Structure 1
Amino acid sequence: MKLSYRTPASLRPDSGTRDARRLSGLDGLRGIAVSIVLVFHFLPGILPGGFVGVDVFFVISGFLITGLLADEYARSGRISLRRFWGRRVRRLVPPLVPLVLLCCTAAWLLGGDVLVGLGWQVLGAVTFGYNWASIAGSASYFSATSPELFRNLWSLAVEEQFYLVWPFVLLALMLVRSARFRLALVCALAVSSVVWMGFLFQPGADPTRVYYGSDTHSFGLFAGAALALLLRRPTGLGAVNPGGAVARAGSGGFTRFAARLPSPGRLRPWLGVVALAGIGAAAAWLPAEGPLAYRGGLFGISVLSGVVIWAAVRGARFGRWLDTPVLRWLGERSYGIYLWHWPVFVLAGVAWPAAGVGVELLVAAVAVLVAAASYRWLEQPVRRRGLRGSIRSLSGFATESRSRLWVVGVAAMLGLVLVGGTTAAVVVAPAETSAQAQITRGRQLLDAAQADRKREEAERRSDPTAAPTPVAPGDLITAVGDSVMLASAPELEDRFPGILIDAAVSRGMRAAPDILAAQASAGTLRPVIVVGLGTNGPITTDELVAIEAVIGPDRKLVLVTAFADRDWTAGVNEALAGFATHHRLVGIAGWHDAIAPHTDVLAGDNIHPGPTGGRIYADCIAAALDVLAPQHPLHGRDPYRIGPDPALLRPAA
């Protein structure tokens, strides 16, 4: 996400020099944003809303790109699309090539689940269409079932698609004489994206579509563009000078409009501090899958980011506060850090699945070091000399001596090996991960069981004289769960024949009350409720209270503990245990403690069980029911030991 943002004198399309005069604070803000993203990915329990760092990048990108285009239009009365896109290619593509080749080759050497879907991931990466490739492939940003190697490239795709379209839109905007109307049109584009995101978002469903979509998640880019237009004058929309003041040349409606805007003066730095604190608060508390984020929350982050940028570029004081040496160093290398941190994290997780926080910190250090090397020896030379100039420079280096020629030869051979490794990784990639295979097995069982129930019901209706169907032990149980329960469905059906299972991938606890309420309204809610929804995120006591309110005081409730290498798992299990101790008809199925010594029976993600793990899952539920049985006998019926007693036959329909 790092883009050049020089002052007008250094923004000539053919300029290859770096100007020392830079907009203050933006490197520091980028350093903060990339740090938030790293903490979110490596230690999500600390900053569960750290995904907002990407939205900060979007606003910065929209602001800078619009400024670059507007400055060029002000100087020449036109925008050279070839040179604009050429600059973007030189900036973004060179670091991306070694990332894809090295990481794909490493994935090929490791093998297993990390290879799944690698073909479409590479295609999405090289075409800058990763977000739509993910949506088309039903990939989930929030799922733990697949170690998706290049998942972080979705945001780069959104930005590149914006770069492709925005120059045409901006040229059309130049035809609008009213500066206020021009600005209003850009704001309308931002608001339209926000409204569209809120409209498409469905509570309880996976929000990947609205999070990845260029149509639903472009409001940050438009917000940055609107800020750039607001700070520029009407003809070419001018430019912000290094000292932070808006250029005074020119006149007209926009100048008069801008003159009427409030000028906080000394309050400006403190407004920037407040906005930055708001971003930090959102990173600490904004839920990644809740409606707040997608119905205005992320747009609020964009507005706060715009305030921070405005305070930094209009007031050198606040900009200097942001541009501390560490933050500026991180900000200058933020693009490379963002590119490398996630693939390295995924590969480390595949190589050392049981690794702890120490390895995560090591991964962060490796990502920063690799990004620094890329910035020093790849990105900067290409930016200064261009791609052709860099190749000529490399050729000159190789011809100076035999030793240097040997170095270049070894590098060329390494490149061929990486290309071969990447090709092999794509060719041998399996169709689905081991976790997905177990989930598919469970889903097929549920589909078959549902079809059997419908067939039996149709037979009873067609033949009223048919013998009554024996009550199966599972006929007393309704189970609602996530993908872990879904993977265990065959073993649950075997242990509790007739159990009614409603399980789905990426489901969280907040979805349970609505699901159970729908079953209660339909009259299908059974006397024993099993809820296994702790894998995909933190839970609250209010959610458990809502479940109890829906099922009523006479039903038993079994809560299944969570087992996953996630920072929220311990808190989930503590909340479940605490709730059970204060409610007589609530029991705990200790999946976490039961599976911990037997992780070898889990899939490659160390979360989803195979057949043996599924039997352990079912045993945990049976043990919880055994504890609850004496407290509420359900008219003498045992929900998992009951046999085909003729006295308990269900009457014919």
Structure 2
Amino acid sequence: MSSSPATPRTDARVRLPGLDGVRALAVVLVLGYHLIPGLATGGFVGVDVFLVVSGYLITALLLAEHAREGSIRLGRFWARRARRLLPALALVVGASAGVAALIGGDVLVGIDWQLLGAATFSSNWFAIAQGASYLDQTSPELLRHLWSLAVEEQFYLLWPLALTGLILLPRRWMRVAVPAALAIASAAAMALVAGDPATRGAAASTAYFSTLTHGFGLLVGAALALARRPLARPADRAAGRIPAGVADAAAIAAATGIIVLASALTISSAPAYRGGMLAVVALTALLLLALDHPGSRIAPLIDRGPAGWTGERSYGLYLWHWPVVVLLSAALPGIDRTGASGWMLGLLALAISLPLAAGSYRWLEQPVRRHGLAGLGLARRPTLAPSPAGSPAPADRAGARRRWAAPVAVAAASALLLAGTTAAVVRAPAESQAAAAILAGQTALDELGRQPTATVPPEPVVVTAPTPEPTAPAGEEMIAIGDSVMLASAPALQERFPGILIDAAVSRQMRAAPELLRGYAAAGELRPTVVLGLGTNGPIDAATLEEVRRIIGPSRTLVLVSAQAPRDWTPGVNGELTSFASRFRAVELADWRSAIEPQLTLLAGDQIHPGSAGARIYADAVEGAVLRLTALPRFQDYLVDLQQER
């Protein structure tokens, strides 16, 4: 039941309990994911928590306004959203672009479309159009994290229009059913579009970025608000229906479930898209519902202290943390972004982001939110003593200063931010160092005509064991199959091993190796020494390596190249490769990771792809492994392998 516009609803609540605590949980998960390597592999679900909270809060506010005034004033709503979001966003975008312009290099790649996406709240669609990958957490895109803000803003633009129509439906269940059905459709679309992220990385990124496939969190929050109408009803309406202890237990269980999923999911695994993020959304809805109980003891607890403080500043923390860590990584290219050094880099980024977010909240966001741009001139000042008769009162002089100080400060800051963004666009390189290295490798392969054909006619071949040599085999006896790291290293490999057959492709994983090797074996092109460099783009397992070894047979040697990449799965990949190589004398590890670790500045800004000097180190690692494989006679190698297998 709604009240007349002339009769204010004095029994309605003015804020939602526990909301700041939920925001704190969301931002802590995101910070853990982005700043601390390996701490929260699924911390990206913090964004889904944010989306549910946004859908819930915005819908609740709109329903409360309709209950008070009998209508929803769209212009006033959008103006409030602009005052809440734009000032901090403009500061972060302008300041980050300005600092990036001073650093230069890869951090500026694509800055033009990123700035345009930020200005139009369409970053997610620009990212999809540019083929940006969310799965690749090493890309130096400065403003990548604004994709989620774009999704929210698009919701803020369209949802109030839809809500004005939904309110006209005669039954509440009908009003709830519409966003609930849309949420189910959105989650199903994400699962279908993403498929298996391990093999369809581009599709998974599209599913992650798109408002259509990642909007279910907002819609679930909206459906919950339509069902509960939390700000348009008396605070004690639910009293007595459910014991407060049960509600508190449900809140704890829901929060625990979110944390467990944030520890278990990974951005590159299918479960995240096939129900994982939807499960987080459902748990967030349950958490909000439990905290809304009037007898909740948890809600007031998490709205105070560190959790409440963090939740109030969660927007600024989200805005600042990603540009800060990207800029630090660009400014300190020699710092390893994995392990202990990666933790230190993340903690430094956090130490910088916290005061930036706190200052933005205190001196920019809150004043503008309450008073508009004029609020920038308002601050606490000591009480002034009365002025002598006949002279202007100090308060009058202070008021005059405030009247012109705020516009001048805003104009000066705007000019400075505009200069920084302009410099960033002007200085932006056309391509990243990694892209240049990959292109150079591809060009080298094309020039020598070493690229394999798309199809090879199957024909039987008889393979004989090569004659052992005390030195490394010639390039004509080697075939190398790899990913973009090997592709970037192709010129150095060709120089070190003339005649080597290199088949390398961007984003290739170890799971592709068996099929590729079978094709080469069928075509009679599977050479005596096989080099595999396929650990960069995803986890591997011993079963795949066993299959590889069965395919190449006992007469060939196998070199496995370790992976260097600031990604969650890299330690596991290298551990698996090391373990497998230690089991067989005919298998050797080319430890690229250890070789390049002291010289990370020889890699591109992503700390993955080598330049020319880094590529020579890659070739050195492969050559060392091949030389170690020639230390024992081949027949003895095979006997050792058989004994170990038994």
TM-score interval, normalised by the smaller of the two chains: 0.7 to 0.9
SS at match of 2:588: strand
* Contact 2:334-2:599 within 8 A present in 1 as well: no
Note the 1:119-268 alignment, pairs <5 A: 119-143=112-136, 146-203=139-196, 204-206=199-201, 207-232=204-229, 239=232, 241-243=234-236, 245-246=237-238, 263=242, 266-268=245-247
Cα deviation digits, residues 153-193 of structure 1 (max 9, x gap):
11101111111111222223233323333322222111111
CA gap 1:600/1:36 in 2 versus in 1, 3 angstroms: closer
Name the structure 2 match of 1:433: 432
Task: Compare 272-281 and 490-499 and name the one that shifted more.
Answer: 490-499
Structure 1 letter corresponding to 2:24: G
Q: What CA distance in whole angstroms lies between the structure 2 residues aligned with 1:538 and 1:330?
A: 35
CA gap 1:403/1:158 in 2 versus in 1, 3 angstroms: closer
Name the structure 1 match of 2:595: 594
Q: What CA distance in whole angstroms lies between the structure 2 residues aligned with 1:333 and 1:103?
A: 19
Q: Is 1:373 aligned to residue 362 of structure 2?
A: no
Cα deviation digits, residues 375-403 of structure 1 (max 9, x gap):
1111111111134x436869x99964779
Q: How far off is 1:572 after superposition?
A: 3.3
Name the structure 2 match of 1:520: 518
CA gap 1:21/1:177 in 2 versus in 1, 3 angstroms: closer
Name the structure 1 match of 2:375: 390
Structure 2 letter corresponding to 1:424: A
Structure 2 letter corresponding to 1:28: G
SS at match of 2:531: strand
Structure 2: where are the runs of 5+ without partners? 336-340, 380-394, 458-472, 638-646
* Contact 1:341-1:363 within 8 A present in 2 as well: yes
SS at match of 1:156: helix
Q: What CA distance in whole angstroms lies between the structure 1 residues aligned with 2:158 and 2:260?
A: 33
SS at match of 1:366: helix
Q: What CA distance in whole angstroms lies between the structure 2 residues aligned with 1:335 and 1:547?
A: 49
Aligned residues: 587
Structure 2 letter corresponding to 1:205: R
* Contact 1:275-1:307 within 8 A present in 2 as well: yes
* Contact 2:137-2:567 within 8 A present in 1 as well: no
Structure 1 letter corresponding to 2:263: A
Q: What CA distance in whole angstroms lies between the structure 2 residues aligned with 1:74 and 1:456?
A: 67
* Contact 1:512-1:547 within 8 A present in 2 as well: no
SS at match of 1:418: helix
SS at match of 1:185: helix
Structure 1 letter corresponding to 2:504: D
Task: Compare 44-53 and 527-536 and name the one that shifted more.
Answer: 527-536
SS at match of 2:532: strand
Q: Is 1:283 aligned to residue 262 of structure 2?
A: yes
| Paired-residue identity, % | 44
Q: What CA distance in whole angstroms lies between the structure 2 residues aligned with 1:221 and 1:272?
A: 20
**CA RMSD of the aligned region, Å?**
3.6
Task: Compare 265-274 and 126-135 and name the one that shifted more.
Answer: 265-274
* Contact 1:540-1:575 within 8 A present in 2 as well: yes
TM-score if structure 1 supplies the norm length? 0.81
CA gap 1:435/1:526 in 2 versus in 1, 3 angstroms: same
Q: How far off is 1:616 after superposition?
A: 2.2
Cα deviation digits, residues 46-73 of structure 1 (max 9, x gap):
1111111111101111111111222223
Task: Compare 93-102 and 407-416 and name the one that shifted more.
Answer: 407-416
Name the structure 2 match of 1:319: 299
Q: Is 1:104 aligned to residue 97 of structure 2?
A: yes
Q: How far off is 1:590 after superposition?
A: 1.2
Structure 1 letter corresponding to 2:273: Y
Q: How far off is 1:25 after superposition?
A: 1.1
* Contact 2:140-2:605 within 8 A present in 1 as well: no
Cα deviation digits, residues 275-295 of structure 1 (max 9, x gap):
211111111121110111011
Q: How far off is 1:300 after superposition?
A: 0.8
Q: What CA distance in whole angstroms lies between the structure 1 residues aligned with 2:552 and 2:601?
A: 36
SS at match of 1:488: helix
1:51 counterpart (31, 44, 48) = 44
* Contact 2:112-2:425 within 8 A present in 1 as well: yes
Name the structure 1 match of 2:318: 338
CA gap 1:516/1:537 in 2 versus in 1, 3 angstroms: closer
Q: What CA distance in whole angstroms lies between the structure 1 residues aligned with 2:208 and 2:450?
A: 35
CA gap 1:400/1:81 in 2 versus in 1, 3 angstroms: closer
Q: What CA distance in whole angstroms lies between the structure 2 residues aligned with 1:320 and 1:393?
A: 30
Structure 1 letter corresponding to 2:225: A
Name the structure 2 match of 1:501: 503
Note the 1:632-651 alignment, pairs <5 A: 633=634
Q: How far off is 1:144 after superposition?
A: 5.3
Q: How far off is 1:622 after superposition?
A: 2.8
Structure 1: where are the runs of 5+ without partners? 1-7, 248-258, 459-471, 637-653
Q: What CA distance in whole angstroms lies between the structure 2 residues aligned with 1:398 and 1:480?
A: 76
TM-score if structure 2 supplies the norm length? 0.82
